[in-house]
Amino acid sequence: MTLMKSFRWPQGFRKQGQKSTPLRIGECGVRHPLPNPPPSRGRERVGGNSEIRNLSEPEGSLSRRPKSAFERGFTLIEIIIVIVILSIVSGITIKFLIDSLKIYTMTVNQKTLFDEGKLALERMCRDIRDARIITSVTASSITFERTNATAQDSAGESIIFRWNGGTNPLEKVKAGTGYPMASNVTAFTVTNATNEIQLQLTLQLTSGENITLQTKVYPKNLADSTTYKNFFQNWREEPSS
């Protein structure tokens, strides 16, 4: 019986395209692949780009270095600057809104005072224009007798428009009874220059808004006069329908 001599393959057996594996010679002359060396700790650059692989981590786990400031996040100084800027912008916006609200409120209050004062003056002018005699005029009142009857007043009735000062309203007094015409009155003056009656009314709210209205009225039923503007009693208003 002929014994075959053992022989060694220089590179061992491998598939086509497979990298060669270091072999060790064991018993009976058989080569065994060497165990893989333990992975070294540290980092290595993969592919020449910015991807870094930790050698102590398993294959395929990559950590990316931040490329821009957005990937790095914000610093404390940047956050504080943004907060300060937002605070300034918010303060300016809030002040603008508050000022706008104040202007709107003031406009509404002025309109309310104007409507109240205008209505009071129109009522006084209508009654004084129908006066046949001016009885008395003081700094804050006027007394007269009207000529024609209305739904509220009688012909020849004595009427007084007065303001007693303080917080009292402007009143129309007839038969000893006062009827409020306007509140929030702070001043009411009456002047009589040759039967040319001038009325001045000032109203003010507690919030500070105020308004002053002034008008002139000419009684049309006074005695005949060549100089007065009643045109010898030929001036007559057209009754409203």
Q: Give the model's confidence band at 7: pLDDT under 50 very low, under 70 low, under 90 confident, else very high.
A: very low
**Residue-wise DSSP of 2-41:** PPPPP---SS----TTPPP--EEE-GGG-EEEPPPPPPPS
Mean local confidence (pLDDT), 63-91: 81
> Is residue 126 included in any domain, yes or no?
yes
> Is residue 19 included in any domain, yes or no?
no
Residue of 150 and 53 predicted with greater confidence: 150
Residue among 239, 142, 144, 232 at smallest CA distance from 191: 142
> Is residue 171 included in any domain, yes or no?
yes
Does the predicted model carry a pTM greater than 0.85?
A: no
5-9, 19-23, 219-223: segment of lowest average pLDDT:
5-9
The boundaries of the domain holding residue 111 are: 104-233
**Do residues 211 and 203 touch, judged by C-beta distance below 8 A?**
yes
Q: Is the predicted pLDDT of residue 31 greater than 50, yes or no?
A: yes
Give pLDDT, residue 14: 54
Q: Is the predicted pLDDT of residue 45 greater than 70, yes or no?
A: no
Q: Is the predicted pLDDT of residue 98 greater than 90, yes or no?
A: yes
> Is residue 36 included in any domain, yes or no?
no
Q: Is the predicted pLDDT of residue 6 greater than 90, yes or no?
A: no
> Is residue 146 included in any domain, yes or no?
yes
Give pLDDT, residue 195: 82
Give pLDDT, residue 125: 93
Number of independent structural domains in the chain: 1
Contact residues for 39 (Cβ-Cβ < 8 A; gap 6+)? 55, 56
The pair of three-digit structure tokens given for residue 204, joined into one six-digit string: 């003010």
Mean local confidence (pLDDT), 110-137: 93
Q: Is the predicted pLDDT of residue 180 greater than 80, yes or no?
A: yes
> Is residue 89 included in any domain, yes or no?
no
**131-142: string of b/e by CB count within 10 Å (b at 16+)?**
bbebeeeeebbb
> Is residue 208 included in any domain, yes or no?
yes
Give pLDDT, residue 54: 54
Mean pLDDT of the chain: 78
Position of tokens 């005029």? 137
Distance CA 173, CA 235 (A): 27
CA atoms within 13 A on the CB side of 235: 15
CA distance to 21, 65, 106, 223, per residue, from 100 (Å): 85, 52, 10, 55
Burial of 157 (0-12, 13-18, 19+ CB in 10 A): middle
> What pLDDT digit, counting tens, does each position of 191-223 carry?
998 888 999 999 999 888 999 999 999 888 877
How many whole angstroms from its chain centre is CA 89?
14
Residue of 74 and 109 predicted with greater confidence: 109
> Is residue 144 included in any domain, yes or no?
yes
For the beta sheet containing 43-45, the strands, ordered from the edge strand earlier in sequence to the opposite edge, are: 43-45, 51-54, 63-64
